[in-house]
Amino acid sequence: MDITFKNDAQADAVAVMASEGGVLLAAGKALDEKTGGGITRAMKASRFTGGAGQVLEILAPANLESGRLLVIGVGAPDKADGLTVEKWAAQAVRRTITTGAESLALHAEGVGGVAGAEAAARAGVGAHLATYRFDRYKTKLKPDAKPSLKDVTVVTEGAAGAKGKYDPLTGVVEGVFFARDLVSEPPNVLHPPEFASRLKAMESLGLEVTVLDVAEMTKLGMGALLGVGQGSVRESRLVVMSWKGAKNKAAQPICFVGKGVTFDTGGISLKPGAGMDEMKGDMGGAAAVSGVMMALAKRKAKANVIGIVGLVENMPDGAAQRPGDIVTSMSGQTIEVLNTDAEGRLVLCDAIWYAQEKFNPTAIVDLATLTGAIIISLGHEHAGLFSNNDALAADLTAAGLAEGEAVWRLPLGPAYDKMIDTPNADIKNISGKPAAGSITAAQFLQRFVKDGVAWAHLDIAGTAWKPAPYEDPTSPAWATGFGVRILNRLVANRYEE
Ligand code: BES
Ligand code: MN
Ligand code: ZN
């Protein structure tokens, strides 16, 4: 689908903005006049009040060439921002995409905290996000279930300025789509070697991509990560993606680290059967890291960033690790594996240690679908944030709010840390108590963070994918791609020259 910016457009469908109280913005007012008050009458004949996300659909409006007129609410103007405009445009695309209409004109206007060119660019982003579908495996889609929409024109006075703002953002949307695809792919297709080869293909974007296999990881002493994958017929991988966009290519980078369990059965500590299929998404952290590296390369970010993903499949098998096993991590610390289903932290601890040894980063942010407990705490609305650094935590919180990927900070502390001590090894992989499960998982990771390194951990188990009814017009599928936008914004705000 093409998204363009023009001063005027004719299209099969046209969308305008209305704010709370059913107040039409300028483009809507003009069309209301043209249709002889048709919009005003339609608003009176319905319960449309201009609330954010509300849609009033007028078919065959008088005196208009467009056969379909959409009036879509943006809510209270003083609360509107770029995200409001994205959702507004996304709603328009969702309502049009399979109707038979081939073209849509979006009359995006500045409202609340978002002005002209920026509003138009964000409308483009929302429209683009709304086109996401994962129908690669649908071979029998009826023609009328396929998208008809081909051209979206964002109608705005400053078309050139809007396009200038939109172009780098479209790379970010492509990163989000890449992450969504990875999360949605079935686990028989997307196993660690396949994941790694899809990342290798990103070298064409100017990224440097290195793939470590089992032999190389064995040499490095990554006993924790390798223990998780040893029951699978698919070999584990560690992939390093490097983007050197800073003027000084030798400047210390920031590292993003992702959990990439391509399927989590729980291992010998087998999960219950119901809903286990969702564990194909247990590589959501790795998908987010991959997606943001794509975004940074596409928009040529002026920063040095390393993305590292630990890719394993957690299977029960005669060769699988057992509860009670003690493994030695790359850091040298020994870990008693009391539950093979607490595998994400085992993958991350070696990836985090490797990141520090190899790249001496100023900061590390790891992302992982780490604990079911974070869904109990925060539902699907916020990811959990844990950090040893208040400034990094504040920057991530602000970035998340700006990008519609909200995070909520939870505490760390010595009393929680004690809960993962064991008489048998340096550390155990579960506390064994039904208490503070997301925090003790984060404490485990912190034991692998060196002094002086700013570190944050995002537990995205509740946000990497969303069950119905939590969908959003900008994220119509199960997989959300959560993490790409917050990390991209963190880089832009905190690290770019
Ligand atoms: N991948 C799961 C966490 C998860 C649960 C992600 C639900 C998304 C949705 C993780 O590996 C896991 O199994 N965690 C256990 C930890 C427990 C054994 C200490 C959990 O949360 O139950
Ligand atoms: Mn698990
Ligand atoms: Zn897992």
Of the listed ligands, the closest to the CA of 371 is 1
pLDDT higher than threshold 90 for residue 250: yes
Q: Which of 79, 133, 271, 302 is catalytic?
A: 271
Instruction: Name the residue of 276, 313, 341, 482 whose CB sits within 8 Å of the most ligand 1 atoms, as the mutation to test its pocket.
Output: 341
pLDDT higher than threshold 90 for residue 262: yes
Could you tell me which residues come within 8 angstroms of residue 458 by beta carbon, excluding any fewer than 6 positions away?
285, 365, 366, 367, 368, 383, 384, 385, 396, 407, 483, 486
**Residues 241-265, mean pLDDT to the nearest whole number:** 98
Pocket (CB within 6 angstroms of ligand 1):
264, 282, 339, 341-344, 369, 371-373, 430, 437, 461
Q: Quick one: which atom of ligand 1 is closest to the CA of 373? A: 21
Share of the chain above pLDDT 90, in %: 98
Domain 172-495 has CATH 3.20.20.30: no
322-381 confidence digits (pLDDT tens): 999 999 999 999 999 999 999 999 999 999 999 999 999 999 999 999 999 999 999 999
Confidence at residue 497, expressed as pLDDT on a 0 to 100 scale: 81
Confidence at residue 342, expressed as pLDDT on a 0 to 100 scale: 99
Q: Are 236 and 312 in contact (CB under 8 A)?
A: yes
Confidence at residue 469, expressed as pLDDT on a 0 to 100 scale: 85
Phi/psi of residue 57, each to 5°?
-110, 120
Q: From atom 22 of ligand 1, which residue's Cα is the shortest distance away?
A: 372
Tokens at 219, concatenated: 């040499």
Q: Are 182 and 195 in contact (CB under 8 A)?
A: yes
Catalytic site includes residue 345: yes
Tokens at 161, concatenated: 């300025």
Could you tell me which residues come within 8 angstroms of residue 284 by beta carbon, excluding any fewer than 6 positions away?
179, 183, 259, 367, 368, 369, 460, 464, 465, 479, 482, 483
Tokens at 293, concatenated: 């590296």
Helices (H), 185-300: 192-200, 214-220, 223-229, 284-298
28-48 confidence digits (pLDDT tens): 999 999 999 999 999 999 999
pLDDT higher than threshold 90 for residue 476: no
Share of the chain above pLDDT 70, in %: 100
For the stretch 33-56, what's the b/e string if a residue is b when 16 or more beta carbons lie within 10 angstroms of its beta carbon? Answer: eebeebbbebbeeeebbbbbebbb
Mapping DSSP onto H, E and C, the string for 451-473 reads CCCEEEEEECCCCCECCCCCCEC
Confidence at residue 468, expressed as pLDDT on a 0 to 100 scale: 83
132-150 confidence digits (pLDDT tens): 999 999 999 999 999 999 9
381-407 confidence digits (pLDDT tens): 999 999 999 999 999 999 999 999 999
- pLDDT mean across residues, the chain: 97
Element (H, E) at 56: strand 55-59
Domain 2-156 has CATH 3.20.20.70: no
Tokens at 339, concatenated: 């539950």
pLDDT higher than threshold 90 for residue 470: no
53-102 confidence digits (pLDDT tens): 999 999 999 999 999 999 999 999 999 999 999 999 999 999 999 999 99
Please check whether the two domains, 2-156 and 172-495, share a CATH topology. Answer: no
What is the amino acid identity at position 315?
Answer: M
Confidence at residue 480, expressed as pLDDT on a 0 to 100 scale: 98
Positions of E strands within 112-198: 151-155
Q: Are 74 and 22 in contact (CB under 8 A)?
A: no
Confidence at residue 73, expressed as pLDDT on a 0 to 100 scale: 98
Tokens at 386, concatenated: 């844990």
Q: Are 228 and 343 in contact (CB under 8 A)?
A: yes
Q: Are 313 and 230 in contact (CB under 8 A)?
A: no
Per-domain residue ranges of the chain: 2-156, 172-495
pLDDT higher than threshold 90 for residue 467: no
**Residues 430-454, mean pLDDT to the nearest whole number:** 98
Tokens at 384, concatenated: 């959990």
**Residues 456-474, mean pLDDT to the nearest whole number:** 93
Q: Quick one: which atom of ligand 1 is closest to the CA of 269? A: 18
pLDDT higher than threshold 90 for residue 471: no
Could you tell me which residues come within 8 angstroms of residue 272 by beta carbon, excluding any fewer than 6 positions away?
none
Instruction: Name the residue of 371, 377, 433, 480 whose CB sits within 8 Å of the most ligand 1 atoms, as the mutation to test its pocket.
Output: 371
